[in-house]
Amino acid sequence: MSCLYCTQPLSNIKGIRVGNNVLLQSVGKNVFRAANVHSGQQLQCKVFSISRYLRSVAVYHQLPVHPNLSHFSDSVIEGVMVYVFFGQSYGNMHTYVRTCKGLDEGEASQLFYQMVSTVAHCHSNDVVLRDLKLRKFVFKNQERTHLTLSNFEDAYIIEKGDDCVYGRHDCHFYISPEGLQTEVKHSGKAADVWSLGVMLYTILVGHYPFRDLESNILFCKIQRCDFILPEFLSPKAKCLIQNIFRVDPSERLTAPEILDHPWLSFHDSQKVWRTISYQDDDQIVPQFCC
């Protein structure tokens, strides 16, 4: 059997052998391109500490199967680390949006629908995700039409009727206003919805809604909900963004309510195209972070 990226048999590839798989190339922090030594199947491997792995496994067991959730095919424990193998992916939404500098509303609505559906599924099964961002959604086909949530590293199983969490989002661009108060409990579901709003805006516009090189200024913009809605967005898209970006978490749409919004209810028939030129890199999603 030969590797899809190599002409030599897998048994001859120089790499790290982990169980029945071999790590071929690093593609990110603790993430590797890998392959099964017997079948040649292309895989992705993520390396976790045992404690982090056990938290993720608990979430996996909490959630019923969903078409937009990634499930691992194999895991190998070596020392204090766990090597978890997933099916091959074809890039993530962060890179895709950065490359395209924003998507037209027809394509955006179809992809965003899958993202919201995933979050709604998690919320209905007592899981909040806490570190939602574009990079966590990966494409499972070459056509870039099918998304899956790649991991649950920061997810949290909540008690029935109580979704309160502590802590701040890892990526500053996605922090909700209430999430800036690190010592105060806040709704994990509402914070996830805020992150969905950041993703929606970024997908459509090509840059984050709240931006600044200085963290303090960035946080002030988030607290004031200070962002601009471009004129080229459709009225329904503007309406949805405005109903997600509410400073008061109780006034935000929930994930199931977003799925019922008119902009997504007719996502298959929407064909709204943008014709806008970008003059500089400040107008696109940055390479760093998130």
Exposure string over 107-138, b if 16+ CB within 10 A, otherwise e: bbbbbbbbbbbbbbbbbeebbbbbbbbbbbbb
Count of CB atoms situated within 10 Å of the CB of 68: 18
Residues 52, 39: contact at Cβ < 8 Å?
no
Sheet holding 31-36, edge to edge: 16-18, 21-28, 31-36, 42-49, 81-87, 74-78
Helix, strand, coil shares of the chain, percent, nearest 5, are 35, 20, 45
131 catalytically annotated: yes
**Backbone dihedral region of 95: left (phi > 0), alpha (psi from -120 to 50 degrees) or beta?**
alpha
Place of tokens 């199947």: 41
How many residues are present in the chain?
A: 290
Cα–Cα distance between 196 and 220 in angstroms, integer? 20
The catalytic residue among 126, 131, 280, 282 is 131
- Beta strand 156-157 with 127-128 is antiparallel
Paired strand residues for 22: 17, 35
Nearest to 151 by CA among 124, 129, 175, 166: 129
Active site residues: 131
